[in-house]
Amino acid sequence: MANDKMMAQVSDKQGFFAALDQSGGSTPGALKLYGIPESAYSDEAGMFKLIHEMRVRIMTAPAFTGDKIIGAILFEATMDGQAEGKAVPSYLWEERGVVPFLKVDKGLEAEADGVQLMKPIPGLDTLLERAVKLGIFGTKMRSVIHQNSAQGIAAIAKQQFALGAQIGAHGLIPILEPEVSIKSPDKAGAEATLRAELLKGLDALPETGRVMLKLTIPDVADFYQPLIDHPRVVRVVALSGGYSRTEACERLATNHGMIASFSRALINELKVSMSDSEFDAALAEAVDEIYQASVAKV
């Protein structure tokens, strides 16, 4: 079964995850970095058409294969789109050997108790049913921790695990992403509080329960080793969180068992004005650097 092969790849393969899941809120910034100003489109449909073209250019580049990229996290519109005449999830798995995941959250609530919970996700079960039919293997959902708030971080973990259970009921592997802001005044303290809450949530999962975790690279190297070693955890991946690619890779290389799931650090140097050879070379350089930080630890 494809699902068994995907699970083996996600669990054991050396490499990293590519996050191609900029949402409506972050897409204008991603396009601007790519060299496309807001004046180039007049509505949301035009904006998403342009970002889809950028993502297809990335996914079809020679370096974007399962040799170094384990999986790719997609925005819903990307999941519904096509690459080289195929549905994107099928194209990624069948043509590139990359496992497709789907971002399912609908953005963040306003900050309260030092954190931003996820907004409600109406129609989640319907979306998950559609994702399964399209060949999606798992999902991702992000919330953000700004302060070392015991009450806020407990609420973040509770929401993540509750939605994870709903997602797991559809046979999908959820990636829980409780991001600790790199600007948090007590980042290390917030990470300690989060680790304790995540361990409680993991211990409470049923024996068959499986999740992935996507976490900010911790201030203390190997701080998340107890999560990496937990029997309910398929994989722990790292977000770049606003660090430059160089700094994110340097930090990641000191964390054994933690691999990248970068977005900005993967694509920030790609420009629409590049020739195909320039674009492919720039992406290959980013892929190689992130791969090395994921597999060659110090």
Catalytic sites, residue numbers:
177, 214
Q: Residue 57: in which H helix or E strand, if any? A: helix 44-59
Among residues 265, 216, 211, the alpha carbon closest in space to that of 238 is found at 216
- Coil, helix or strand at residue 181: coil
Taking the CA atoms of 57, 63, 67 and 69 in sequence, report the sign of the dihedral they define.
negative
Q: What is the 3-state secondary structure (H, E, C) of 257-298?
A: CEEEEECHHHHCCCCCCCCHHHHHHHHHHHHHHHHHHHHCCC
218 DSSP assignment: P
**Cβ(217)–Cβ(248) below 8 Å:** yes
The beta strand positions in 82-210, using DSSP E, are 82-83, 86-87, 99-103, 115-116, 138-145, 173-180
Q: What residues have CB less than 8 Å from 170, skipping those under 6 apart?
A: 125, 128, 129, 131, 132
DSSP lists the bridge partners of residue 87 as 82
